[in-house]
Copies of this chain bind each other. A is one copy, B any other.
Amino acid sequence: MNMKLKNRQTVLFTGDSITDCGRAHPVGIRAGLGEGYVALVDSLLATFYPERLIRILNTGISGNRVVDLESRWRKDVLDLKPDWLSVMIGINDVWRQFDSALDPNQVTVERYEEMYRKLLAQARPEIKGLVLMTPYFIEINRDDPMRAKMDEYSDVVRRLSTEFDAVFVDTQCAFDEFLRHRPTQSLCGDRVHPNRTGHMIIARAFLSAVGFNWNRASKKTEVTR
């Protein structure tokens, strides 16, 4: 598979705190991409593909749910006119139903699917490529109530990927693979906000999904000179 991100293209990442990670405002760029998977994707692209100039933008905002994306979709997505758009949303839509069950305003899975579809329908005609990343809960027990609920939202993302011809990134699956070997506590405390290794797992899942060639050129570096 060829690497889908081409020279001189712009890739915009948006979503919640996993995407945000302390990025600069109004738009995260260069040193202002934050400390999460977006920054790692940027560095890995530059390291393995120095000849391709790919511009990364970040408009994730901590705590966002799909309803928050809607209110800023124009300013933080469409107006920036990216070639590629990558979205990861849904973790807070689920989490609020568990840590703030008393709050009346909750985003059910039906409302999530409806709003998410509306946003994508609006954006798809204006971009060259779309990447949809599943939300996740770093818990290997699929019967855990919050994991089970999160899987319903991930299923929505899988369906929308097909519907909108998107590259699908199964971040939940990437974490499950890791959890077969090590406990969730080695990645984070709250099963949501991972350490650097957790963000590397997401970055790797993203890059592999867009056809990143991890093997290129690495031999040269050792033997040249």
Chain A contact residues, CB within 8 Å of chain B: 8, 30-31, 39-40, 42-44, 46-48, 50-51, 53-55, 95, 98-103, 141, 143-146, 170, 172-174, 176-178, 180-186, 189-192, 195-197, 199-201, 204-205, 208-209, 214-215, 217-222, 224-225
Contact = CB atoms under 8 A, between A and B. Distances in A.
Contacts of A178: 46-47, 50
Given A46-B197, A47-B178, A98-B184, 9 more contacts: A40-B196, A47-B201, A53-B182, A99-B186, A146-B185, A170-B222, A172-B225, A205-B221, A215-B215
Contacts of A174: 221
A219 B215 contact: no
A101 B218 contact: no
A50 to B, nearest CB: 4
Contacts of A182: 46, 50, 53, 101
Contacts of A44: 200
12 contacts: A40-B196, A44-B200, A46-B186, A47-B197, A50-B178, A50-B181, A98-B186, A99-B183, A141-B141, A173-B224, A174-B221, A189-B191
Nearest to A56: B102
Copies of this chain present in the complex amount to 8
Contacts of A224: 170, 173, 176-177
A8 B224 CA distance: 32
Contacts of A215: 214-215
A204 B47 contact: yes
Contacts of A143: 141
B170 A225 contact: yes
6 residue pairs, one from A and one from B, having the closest CB atoms: A189-B190, A214-B214, A98-B185, A50-B181, A99-B185, A43-B200
Contacts of A40: 196, 200
Contacts of A219: 208
Contacts of A214: 214-215, 218
Contacts of A201: 47
A177 B221 contact: yes
A56 to B, nearest CB: 9
